[in-house]
C-alpha cells in the first residue's frame, strides 16, 4: 500500500468517525471545490452566442432586430446596462427588469403582440427559450461591472419598498416568507446553502450569480425563473412572468447587491 493510499484511507476513517459538525464542514469544502471546478468551461456560453444572434436577427411583423432596444443607457447600448437594472424607463413610465424590457422592445420594435413576446420564457427538454438566450448574452455584457441600481426615481423607491414588503410577507400553507428561508446565516436545505438575502454579502452573492447554467437541468435559468422556483418552494401561487410582484422583488434584491461586481452567467449544480 502506498503512503498516499494509506493517507486516503485514514482520512475516510476519520471522516466516518468525525462528529457531525466536522463532517458538515468538510462536505461544504467538497461542494465549494466542485463549484470552482465547474467554473471552467460554462455551457452558458452557448446561450450567450444564441442570444447575441437573436438580438441582431430581424423578425416579427415589423421585421426589425432588437439592436435599437434601449436598455437604459441609450438605444443599442448593452455593455454595463444590466448592472443598473431594474430601472425606471421614461418611454414606458414604469419600472422594468431586463426580461420585461425585452418584452417591451419585442412589442414596440418588432411589432409582436404582448402574448407572443412573453410566450415560453423558460425552456425545457424539447424547446429552447429565446428570452433565456437573450438574457444570457445581455447579462454577460455586464460581467465584472459594479452593481449600481438607483432608487432616485420615486417609482423605483416605490418598487423597492413593495419588494421588501413581499420579501417579508408570510403566507401559504406553511406560513413561509422569503425571509423564513433566506433571513439568517448558515441555513441549508439538504446540500443547498440558503443565502441570507437580508445581509449585504448574501444579497450580493445570491443576486450577482444569476442567470446561471443549471447542471442538474441542462438549462440556463434567468432571475425570473429563480423567483418562480422559490415561489414554488414557498407553496405560493405561481409567479406570473414579468408581473409587478416579480419586478418589485427583483428591484429589492438588485439594489441590495449594489457595490458588488456582477458575476453571471454563472454555473450552479
Ligand atoms: C422553503 C424555503 C425557501 C423559501 C420560502 C424561499 N426560498 Fe429562495 N431558495 C431556496 C433554496 C433551497 C435555494 C437554493 C436552491 C439551489 O441551490 O438549488 C434558494 C435560492 C434562492 C436564490 C438564489 C441564491 C443563490 O445564491 O443562487 C434567490 C435569489 C432566492 N432563493 C430568492 C427567494 C425569494 C425572493 C423568495 C421569496 C419569494 C424565496 N427565495 C423563498 C429556498 C427557499
What pLDDT was estimated at residue 216? Answer: 87
pLDDT value, residue 98: 98
Q: What phi and psi, each to the nearest 5 degrees, are found at residue 248?
A: -65, -45
Q: What is the pLDDT along the chain (269 residues), one digit of tens a residue?
A: 444 444 443 443 333 333 444 445 666 776 677 667 666 678 999 999 999 999 999 999 999 999 999 999 999 999 999 999 999 999 999 999 999 999 999 999 999 999 999 988 888 878 889 999 999 999 999 999 999 999 999 999 999 999 999 999 999 889 999 999 998 877 776 666 788 898 889 989 999 999 999 988 889 999 999 999 999 988 898 899 999 999 999 999 999 999 999 999 999 87
Nearest ligand 1 atom to the CA of 202 is 26
Q: Can you tell me the distance from the alpha carbon of 90 to that of 155, in angstroms, rounded to the nearest whole number?
A: 11
Q: Which of 69, 105, 181, 230 is catalytic?
A: 230
Q: Is 206 in the pocket of ligand 1 (CB under 6 A)?
A: yes
What's the pLDDT at 17?
Answer: 38
pLDDT value of position 144: 97
Q: What is the largest CA-CA distance in the chain?
A: 73
Ligand 1 pocket test target in 169, 182, 220, 262 with most atoms within 8 Å of CB = 182
Place of cell 426580461: 99
Give the pLDDT confidence score for residue 183 in this predicted structure: 86
pLDDT of residue 37: 66
Region of 222 please: left (phi>0), alpha (psi -120 to 50) or beta: beta
For ligand 1, the distance from its centroid to the CA atom of residue 139, given in whole angstroms, is: 20
pLDDT for res 117: 94
Respond yes or no: is residue 230 known to be catalytic. yes
- At 96 the pLDDT is 98
Residue 169 contacts residue 258 (beta carbons within 8 Å): no
**Cα 141–chain centre separation:** 15
Closest by Cα among 3, 11, 28, 25 to 193: 28
Residue with cell 493517507: 7
Answer yes or no: is the C-beta of 208 below 6 A from any ligand 1 atom: no
Q: Is 263 in the pocket of ligand 1 (CB under 6 A)?
A: no
Q: What pLDDT was estimated at residue 191?
A: 62
pLDDT of residue 123: 84
Amino acid at each position: 500500500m502506498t503512503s498516499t493510499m494509506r493517507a486516503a484511507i485514514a482520512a475516510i476513517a476519520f471522516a466516518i468517525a468525525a462528529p457531525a459538525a466536522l463532517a458538515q464542514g468538510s462536505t461544504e469544502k467538497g461542494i465549494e471545490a466542485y463549484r470552482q471546478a465547474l467554473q471552467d468551461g460554462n455551457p452558458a456560453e452557448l446561450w450567450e452566442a444564441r442570444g447575441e444572434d437573436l438580438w441582431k436577427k430581424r423578425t416579427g411583423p415589423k421585421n426589425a432586430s432588437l439592436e435599437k432596444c434601449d436598455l437604459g443607457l441609450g438605444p443599442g447600448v448593452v455593455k454595463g446596462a444590466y448592472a443598473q437594472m431594474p430601472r425606471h424607463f421614461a418611454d414606458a413610465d414604469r419600472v422594468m427588469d431586463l426580461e420585461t424590457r425585452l418584452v417591451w422592445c419585442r412589442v414596440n420594435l418588432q411589432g409582436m403582440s404582448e402574448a407572443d413576446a412573453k410566450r415560453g420564457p423558460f425552456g425545457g427538454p424539447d424547446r429552447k427559450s429565446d428570452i433565456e438566450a437573450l438574457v444570457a448574452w445581455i447579462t454577460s455584457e455586464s460581467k465584472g461591472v459594479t452593481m449600481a441600481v438607483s432608487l432616485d426615481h420615486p417609482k423605483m423607491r416605490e418598487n423597492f419598498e413593495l419588494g421588501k414588503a413581499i420579501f417579508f410577507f408570510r403566507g401559504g400553507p406553511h406560513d413561509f416568507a422569503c425571509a423564513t428561508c433566506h433571513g439568517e446565516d448558515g441555513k441549508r436545505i439538504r446540500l443547498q446553502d440558503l443565502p441570507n438575502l437580508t445581509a449585504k454579502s448574501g444579497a450580493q452573492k445570491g443576486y450577482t450569480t444569476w442567470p446561471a447554467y443549471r447542471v442538474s437541468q441542462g438549462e440556463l435559468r434567468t432571475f425570473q425563473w429563480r423567483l418562480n422556483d422559490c415561489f414554488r418552494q414557498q407553496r405560493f401561487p405561481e409567479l406570473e412572468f414579468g408581473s409587478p410582484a416579480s419586478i418589485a422583488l427583483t428591484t429589492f434584491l438588485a439594489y441590495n447587491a449594489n457595490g458588488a461586481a456582477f458575476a453571471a452567467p454563472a454555473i450552479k449544480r
